[in-house]
Amino acid sequence: MDKKPIYTSLAPLYDRLMEDVDYEAWADYIDELLQLHHPDPEKILELACGTGSIALSLEEFGYYQILATDLSQEMIDVASLKAKQQDSGVRFKTMSFQDINVKEQFDAIYTVFDSINYLHSGKEIIKLLKDCSEVLKPGSLFIFDFSTPKNSMEAVDYLNNEEAGSGALRFFRTSTYDTKKQIHTNEFEIEQLSEDGSQVIHRFKETHLQRVYSLDEMLSIVEQTSYHLVASYGDFDLLEADENSSRVTLVLQCQKQR
């Protein structure tokens, strides 16, 4: 079986895998946070945008100019195709958030759906925030979510042994969570089928390792940066997150001097 980098062979299946996720509601939430915490958010950078669902929904508000980026060329290819189909003005670019390479300045940066959990140390998160401050205007926002140990403990049962397919592709997922190391592992076996669907002509494997952070851990990481913590919200709400939150969204303000 061929081992592939994450979100490459999975890219054509990603939207199928996420069909139960309400991206429009998620984009509404990001819009709400942007409007609540910034006087006039216009130029927006998304990191780890995947197949672009949030950026494409957010654009529909009509007042954002969005540049959406992701490490995976394959995910960006799917996003670009969706953008073309809906005549969208969102710009897409392949870029690792570990190597920020944009020439513009933004009013806000956001990254959602566990993408930060692909960074396995506080040091990497601190570097990301520092690099982002270079492309953020003074007083602008960095919004991100992360999944917590509670989320992994709850999700591992329904994610493990999941299988689904779309056209000539199908996948099987195994999911495990190491509570001591706080590492959530998702292994995807992806099969490409012959045209009539009767034979497997290619098998790929992707192994996704995510470091799960408690709220306290993440807050102490943020404290080591020059950002100001504006708010910490739990589970798509505007209520303050606590250790029982499965997903926490932090709103940070960039303290760069004018």
Ligand X SMILES: C[S@@+](CC[C@H](N)C(=O)[O-])C[C@H]1O[C@@H](n2cnc3c(N)ncnc32)[C@H](O)[C@@H]1O
Q: Is 64 among the residues that bind ligand X (CB under 6 A)?
A: no
Neighbouring C-beta atoms of residue 163, cutoff 10 Å: 10
Q: Is 114 among the residues that bind ligand X (CB under 6 A)?
A: yes
Q: Which of 7, 29, 142, 144 binds ligand X (CB under 6 A)?
A: 7
Q: Is 118 among the residues that bind ligand X (CB under 6 A)?
A: yes
Q: Is 48 among the residues that bind ligand X (CB under 6 A)?
A: yes
Q: Which of 66, 90, 112, 129 binds ligand X (CB under 6 A)?
A: 112
Q: Is 191 among the residues that bind ligand X (CB under 6 A)?
A: no
Q: Is 236 among the residues that bind ligand X (CB under 6 A)?
A: no
Nearer Cβ to ligand X, position 106 or 113?
113
Q: Is 92 among the residues that bind ligand X (CB under 6 A)?
A: no
Least distance CB 68 / ligand X (angstroms): 9
The count of residues interacting with ligand X (CB under 6 A) is: 20
Q: Is 29 among the residues that bind ligand X (CB under 6 A)?
A: no
What residues line the site for ligand X (CB under 6 A)? 7, 18, 47-50, 53-54, 70-72, 75, 96-98, 112-115, 118
